[in-house]
Amino acid sequence: MKKPHKFNIIDVFLILIIAAAAGVLVYVLMGNNIIRSSQNTTIVYKIEVPIIMNAALADIRKLQAGNEILDSVRNQPIGTIYDVEIEDAYFNLENRVTGVVERVRHPKHSRVVLTVQTQAEKSDIKKYYVGGKNIMVGVGLDFRTPHFIYSGRCIYIEELEQIEGD
């Protein structure tokens, strides 16, 4: 005659281990989307490349509004280019005679600011997710455009007003 199986402490531990493993699997597959409550919104943000050689300006000038911009690490879209600004690059240099730090134009270099518009998931105040990438002021971004690949940082972000019915 077979003895009926009794429920014991080892069975409880096995059930807890299986439940924990299932929870970890769901978290890995779904990411932080399970935990954070988010809402979709349209944002405009600026990526600054503080210093870039003027030899690269020919490729930058090829950029047009509407060109897609990708995160070069994950190869995910992070928006479309809205505007491109090219300015003189400056750096701080100590005047050895007076000891005063002066702002000096950097020869043969420029500063580039890309304005990007995209749909984002808003989770906290001024914290947005685009293609799984965290976008907020001060965050470094490795990006790819149709004409060049570079790194910069977010210097400005603004949430656009949503029209009723969107």
Each residue of 117-148: pLDDT tens digit?
A: 999 888 767 688 887 788 889 989 999 998 88
Would you say residue 96 lies in a domain? yes
In contact, 78 and 142? CB cutoff 8 Å: no
Q: List the one residue out of 118, 119, 154 whose CA is nearest residue 136.
A: 154
Residue 154: give the domain boundaries.
Answer: 37-159
Would you say residue 16 lies in a domain? no
Model pLDDT for residues 15-29, shown as the tens digit of each residue: 999 999 998 888 777
Would you say residue 6 lies in a domain? no
Would you say residue 31 lies in a domain? no
Q: Does the pTM of the predicted model rise above 0.85? A: no
Number of domains in the chain: 1
In contact, 132 and 141? CB cutoff 8 Å: no
